[in-house]
Homo-oligomer: A and B are copies of this chain.
Amino acid sequence: MNKIPEVTLQRLPVYLNYLKELDDSDYTVSSRSIATALKLGEVLVRKDLAMTSAIGRPKIGYIRTELISALEEDLGCKVIKNAVLVGCGGLGHALMCYNGFGNYGINIVAGFDNDRSKIGTTINNKPVLDGETIPSNEMTKNSDMAIICVPKEVAQLVCDKLVKAGIKAILNFSPTLLHAPEEVVIRDIDVAASLAVLASL
């Protein structure tokens, strides 16, 4: 969909957070001020922003509100996108309760679980549905994205069901490599591994 490289895309939320935190009295911002605050190269910031729909003006810089709007546009924040979450245990439950997804136009519409005692309940006003129904459920059919928070033993099974339902993007918290057709984009977050890497730096 987008031709902005992934490394750049990953920095856009960082710029966005910084710009939103700025005082309203800052009408314009320069690439240098952003770079200094975020400890990035000045040219890198300018190149990143040049790849977005943002418009910079020589001698002036970027108009803050305009830049925020451009970044939100490029990150797709202005379009509501549905997502489902599979595995409503500790982490899954916490993510369903997290309200920060809305900033990016992401709406978690439902959770799935296999635990009979959870099915039929709601978490943060979202229904918890039977995991067996993933491929056929309306909630999945109306979503393009999914978050996997199940134990690693069943992660591939869940992934297969999501793919069957037409899910195109998966954020996987299970510490195992998932296999899916190449049109399905998968990214992994392994918290324990991240901390271990951090400790070895």
Contacts and interface: CB of A to CB of B under 8 A. Distances in A.
Interface of A: 1-2, 4, 6, 9-10, 12-14, 17-18, 21, 37-38, 74-77, 81, 83, 89-91, 93-95, 97-98, 100-101, 103-106, 144-145, 147, 169-171, 175-177, 185, 187, 189-201
Contacts of A101: 192, 195
Contacts of A1: 200-201
A195 B83 contact: yes
A197 B145 CA distance: 12
Given A91-B91, A91-B95, 19 more contacts: A1-B200, A6-B197, A9-B197, A13-B175, A13-B196, A14-B177, A17-B175, A75-B200, A77-B196, A89-B94, A91-B98, A98-B191, A101-B195, A103-B192, A144-B199, A147-B195, A169-B201, A185-B201, A187-B198
Q: How many copies does the complex hold?
A: 2
Of A1, A17, A147, the most chain B CB neighbours within 10 A belong to A17
A70 to B, nearest CB: 13
Contacts of A194: 171, 187, 189
A76 B199 contact: yes
A13 B198 contact: no
Of A13, A83, A94, A200, the most chain B CB neighbours within 10 A belong to A200
22 contacts: A13-B196, A21-B176, A74-B200, A76-B199, A77-B196, A89-B94, A90-B97, A90-B98, A95-B191, A98-B192, A101-B192, A103-B192, A104-B192, A104-B199, A105-B196, A106-B195, A106-B199, A145-B199, A169-B199, A170-B198, A171-B198, A189-B191
Nearest to A175: B17
Q: Which 10 pairs from chain A and chain B are nearest by CB? A: A90-B94, A104-B196, A13-B193, A100-B192, A91-B94, A94-B94, A169-B198, A101-B192, A2-B200, A9-B197
